[in-house]
């Protein structure tokens, strides 16, 4: 039976500071993570103030997760303990599977105009894969296919498939989908989703209505005072929508504004989460082991692939 997903909760991204002093907006994080299984965190580090992003994220460890960095404008210099180094530019994606352990750095540099637009998503790994060999994928913008529908909707397919077109990132254990979708004004569109998967949408431009819901803020909203929200039916920049279960979602725009949003989905893991800083395991004992190994120089298990 065809089932349209409904809005489960609405979130508003919140300002926070991470790394060596990077000012960013967090759509969700540690306290909300149980709702988003298999996802752990989504950070929005768009800024036109270089002082807010140049401090960057100096060398730090990860274990038990994947970090997905998507850049829309500007450059991010990176390096890691596997010997990889380079630059992620506009439209590029870095999909890093930390697995058993990796130490890396990410240093946003912005563009010539001093703008930096990017996002980082953390995805959890199941216990069976937390200690897998690390792997690292730099995906250049020209390798990410763009699908244009008859209604003018365009979709950059980073991971997953749209109309038979598959994105360049494959073979991920939680069967994720990561899409960048742009909808023209006055347009309605549908997107199929896998039943049982967690599905979220993060609006980054314009305004959109999801699921035909004309009172989305009637749902429990997190991350902002109730009066911070616009009192209309549209989701706008910085709004995150968590959907209930179903086979598809519905999105529409009005006649005056387009919309652009990131659509992410994945198969829930359903395991305990023990999380401290950049390391996410299943138990406190595993966390203690990870930090003991980090302190004793035994953290890196593999040079990866």
147-195: pLDDT as tens digits: 999 899 999 999 999 999 999 999 999 999 999 999 999 999 999 999 9
**Euclidean distance between CA atoms 174 and 39, whole angstroms:** 10
What residues contact residue 101 under an 8 Å CB cut-off, 6+ apart?
61, 62, 63, 134, 290, 293, 299, 300, 301, 302
Query: Which pLDDT does position 47 carry in this prediction?
Result: 97
Q: Binning pLDDT at 50, 70 and 90, where does residue 225 land?
A: very low
Of all residues in the chain, what percent carry a pLDDT higher than 90? 84
Whether residue 227 is predicted with pLDDT greater than 90 in this model: the reply is: no
Confirm whether pTM is higher than 0.75: yes
Mean pLDDT for the chain?
Answer: 92
3-state secondary structure the chain: CCCECCEEEEEECEEEEECCCEEEEEEECHHHHHHHCCEEEEEECCECCHHHHCCCEEEEEEECEEEEEEEEECEEEEEECCCCEEEECCCCEEEEECCCCEEEEEEEEECCCCCEEEEEEEEECCCCCCCCCCEEEEECHHHCCEEECCCCCEEEEEECEECCEECCECCCCCCCEEEEEEECCCCEEEEECCCCCEEEEEEEEEEEEECCCCCHHHCCEECCCHHHCCCCCCEECCEEEEECCCCEEEEECCCCCCEEEEEEEECCCCCCCEEECCEEECCHHHHHHHHHHHHCCCCCCCCCC
Whether residue 57 is predicted with pLDDT greater than 60 in this model: the reply is: yes
Whether residue 267 is predicted with pLDDT greater than 50 in this model: the reply is: yes
Q: What is the mean pLDDT of residues 74-88?
A: 91
Query: Which pLDDT does position 133 carry in this prediction?
Result: 94
Whether residue 302 is predicted with pLDDT greater than 80 in this model: the reply is: no
**119-152 per-position pLDDT tens digit:** 999 999 999 999 999 998 889 999 999 999 989 9
**Euclidean distance between CA atoms 205 and 189, whole angstroms:** 17
Query: Which pLDDT does position 92 carry in this prediction?
Result: 97
Asked if 123 contacts 174 with a C-beta cutoff of 8 angstroms, the reply is yes
Q: What is the mean pLDDT of residues 227-255?
A: 85
**13-50 per-position pLDDT tens digit:** 999 999 999 999 999 999 899 999 999 999 999 999 99
Angle at 76 between CA 91 and CA 71, to 5 degrees: 25
Q: Binning pLDDT at 50, 70 and 90, where does residue 218 land?
A: low
Q: Binning pLDDT at 50, 70 and 90, where does residue 61 land?
A: very high
Q: What is the mean pLDDT of residues 51-66?
A: 96
Domains identified in the chain and CATH numbers: 7-295 (2.60.120.10)
Whether residue 232 is predicted with pLDDT greater than 80 in this model: the reply is: no
Whether residue 303 is predicted with pLDDT greater than 80 in this model: the reply is: no
User: Which is more confidently placed, 213 or 284?
Assistant: 284
């Amino acid at each position: 039976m065809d089932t349209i997903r409904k809005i489960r909760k609405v979130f508003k991204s919140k300002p926070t500071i991470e790394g060596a002093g990077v000012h960013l907006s967090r759509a969700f994080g540690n306290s909300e993570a149980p709702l988003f299984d298999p996802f752990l965190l989504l950070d929005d580090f768009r800024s036109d103030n270089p002082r807010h992003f140049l401090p960057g994220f100096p060398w730090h460890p990860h274990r038990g997760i994947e970090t997905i960095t998507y850049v829309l404008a500007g450059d991010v210099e990176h390096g890691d303990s596997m010997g990889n180094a380079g630059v992620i530019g506009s439209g590029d994606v870095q999909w890093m599977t930390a697995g058993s352990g990796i130490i890396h750095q990410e240093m946003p540099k912005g563009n010539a105009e001093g703008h930096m637009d990017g996002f980082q998503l953390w995805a959890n790994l199941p216990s069976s894969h937390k200690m897998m060999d690390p792997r690292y994928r730099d995906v250049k913008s020209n390798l990410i296919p763009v699908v244009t529908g008859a209604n003018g909707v365009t979709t950059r397919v980073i991971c997953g498939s749209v109309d038979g077109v598959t994105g360049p990132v494959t073979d991920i254990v939680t069967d994720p989908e990561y899409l960048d979708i742009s909808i023209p004004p006055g347009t309605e569109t549908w997107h199929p989703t896998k039943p049982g998967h967690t599905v979220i949408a993060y609006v980054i431009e314009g305004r959109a209505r999801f699921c035909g819901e004309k009172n989305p803020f009637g749902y429990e909203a997190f991350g902002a005072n109730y009066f911070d929200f616009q009192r209309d039916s549209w989701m706008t920049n910085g709004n995150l929508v968590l959907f209930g279960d179903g086979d598809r979602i519905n999105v529409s725009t009005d006649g005056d504004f387009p919309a652009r949003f990131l659509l992410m989905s994945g198969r829930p893991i359903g395991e305990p989460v023990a999380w401290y800083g950049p390391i996410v395991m299943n138990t406190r004992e595993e966390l203690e082991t990870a930090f003991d190994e980090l302190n004793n120089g035994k953290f890196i298990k593999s040079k990866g692939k």
